[in-house]
Amino acid sequence: MATSFFYSLRFRLIASVVTIEIVMLSLLVWNNITIIHTTHTDRLRDTASSMIQQIANTSGNYMVAVDYATLQDYLGNVMHYQELAYLVILDRDDAPVITLGLAPREARPVIDPHPDSVTDGVFDISSEILVAGQPMGTVLMGFSLSLMEEAIHKSRIRGISIAAAEILLTVVVTVLIGLGLTRRLGVLSNAAQEVGGGNYSVNIPVETADEVGRTATAFNRMVAEVSNRTLKLEEAETRTRQLLTENRQLAQTSLTAQEDERKHLARELHDELGQCITAIRADAKSIRSLSKECDARVDASASAILDVASRIYEVVHSMMQRLRPGVLYDLGLVEALKEEISAWQERNPDTKCIITVSGDLADLGERVNITVYRIVQECLTNITKYAHASRVTVDLSNTEDKLVLKTEDDGKGIDLSIMTDGLGIIGMRERVEALGGEFQLDTGPGKGVSIMVTIPLMNAGNDTIEYI
Ligand SMILES: Nc1ncnc2c1ncn2[C@@H]1O[C@H](COP(=O)(O)OP(=O)(O)OP(=O)(O)O)[C@@H](O)[C@H]1O
Ligand SMILES: [Mg+2]
């Protein structure tokens, strides 16, 4: 608290003004006193030298006439001069003939060259009394400095009083201006803190049209603008969130429709083509058995039809498996993945693929299951098509209500600066985001491809997808 007071604008303003005032007024007082002192000493020196000169001349005349009584009267009048401390007339043998005022401590005091050099409070001067060039004696005079010092003292007191009054007045005025200024700046600073805290309803009263007033007006305008923009930004954010939610729902609907279409196709293949192929195979078998004894060529043709029908059946069966991974429904996600990977491994014997699973993966829901299954399928297809990898890993784990799938290959990687019109990676991302999850792709030329998918398990996948 105390520290903040010393750093406050109010304190610094007052302290600077008062310090400057004290220094300037001290210089002024010192300057005045020096001038007064010089003026007084010059005046005293001039007065003293002209007085002693006149007294020496007049005294010479009286001494020639040996009229000491008149001389004493004359000098008595001279002694009325306020600053005169003593006046002594010495005869030719240095014997005092007239002594007026306080007699000097010594018979012949040391003569001071200038009032400034006085140390005992009395300015001692002397002058020879000459008549027609003949020495008649000496005048000794002492001028008291007390009057001069009193005048200097009074002037010093007056100067210091005026300075003190001026400092006091300045402090009062500075404090008043400083208080007014810092109070208004304080209002501005508090308002800025309020705005910093998110309160945009702040409005500073504009008291005067000075700099602080203009700052307050500009501040109010700025807050209004910020408030306006923040409002628009919040609206835009809400709209974006809405759009995102709608987008996810749309993606989910479209994926569900895609899965439904695949199921439908698989059913058609199974029911229509599958039945027909089975019928063809049955017919070919009966032709072969009927024609065995008759015609060897018919038998060979029937065998050929049987082989072709069997191959078509395998292809159709494999297509059905891809379209509707029944194993996913029958055995669960982990078994379906293992089966998919082992079938892939058979087709790609040069690439080693390892799957690791951890955590409870039994009841993830069909939506999550199909998402993970399709992503692994697409990753493996891409690796076959592009990677030239020697090793692939698939990690699936359920940790703290999150499902994490990570697939990595050590193949040639993707140069992301090259655009492609493929839909596989986009589809994976869409599937994950439709479940509120995150999709991360980490790759680069020569760095392989790493795909990490995180799906929250709170409410994802509770809905069921109907399997045929
Ligand atoms: N594992 C991988 N290793 C190297 N390149 C890859 C890998 N996976 C994808 N790519 C590159 O990324 C591109 C985009 O892949 P994506 O799966 O999106 O499309 P696609 O496989 O070309 O087509 P679609 O998947 O639509 O049939 C591919 O064309 C390929 O160049
Ligand atoms: Mg692809």
Q: How far is the CA of 399 from the centre of ligand 2 (A)?
A: 28
Separation CA 437–CA 457 (nearest Å): 9
| Burial of residue 357 (number of CB atoms within 10 Å: 0-12, 13-18, 19+) | middle
Quick one: pLDDT at residue 86?
93
**Is the domain defined by 2-169 classed in CATH 3.40.50.300?**
no
Ligand 1 pocket test: which of 385, 406, 417, 432 has the largest number of ligand atoms within 8 Å of its C-beta? 385
Q: For the chain, what are the domain ranges? A: 2-169, 329-468
Quick one: pLDDT at residue 139?
94
What single-letter amino acid sits at 196?
G
Per-residue pLDDT of the chain (468 residues; tens, 9 = 90+): 455 667 776 778 778 888 888 888 888 888 888 888 888 889 889 999 999 999 999 999 998 888 989 999 999 999 998 889 999 999 989 889 999 988 887 878 888 888 888 888 899 999 999 988 899 999 999 999 888 888 778 888 888 888 888 888 888 888 888 788 878 888 888 988 988 888 888 888 887 778 888 888 898 999 999 899 999 999 999 999 999 888 888 888 888 888 888 888 888 887 788 888 888 988 888 888 887 777 778 888 888 999 999 899 888 888 887 887 877 878 889 999 999 999 999 999 999 999 999 998 988 888 899 999 999 999 999 999 999 999 999 999 998 789 999 999 999 999 999 888 888 898 899 889 889 899 999 999 999 999 999 999 875 444 443 332
pTM for the complete prediction? 0.53
Which residues lie closer than 8 Å to 184 by C-beta, 6 or more apart? 207, 212, 216
Quick one: pLDDT at residue 82?
87
Quick one: pLDDT at residue 201?
85
382 lines ligand 1 (CB under 6 A): yes
Ligand 1 pocket test: which of 381, 386, 390 has the largest number of ligand atoms within 8 Å of its C-beta? 386
407 lines ligand 1 (CB under 6 A): no
**Which ligand approaches the C-alpha of residue 423 most closely?**
1
Q: How many CB atoms lie within 10 A of CB 120?
A: 13
What single-letter amino acid sits at 255?
L
Question: The domain at 329-468 falls in which architecture?
Answer: 2-Layer Sandwich (3.30)
Helices (H) and strands (E) in the chain, counts: 11, 9
Q: How far is the CA of 43 from the centre of ligand 1 (A)?
A: 111
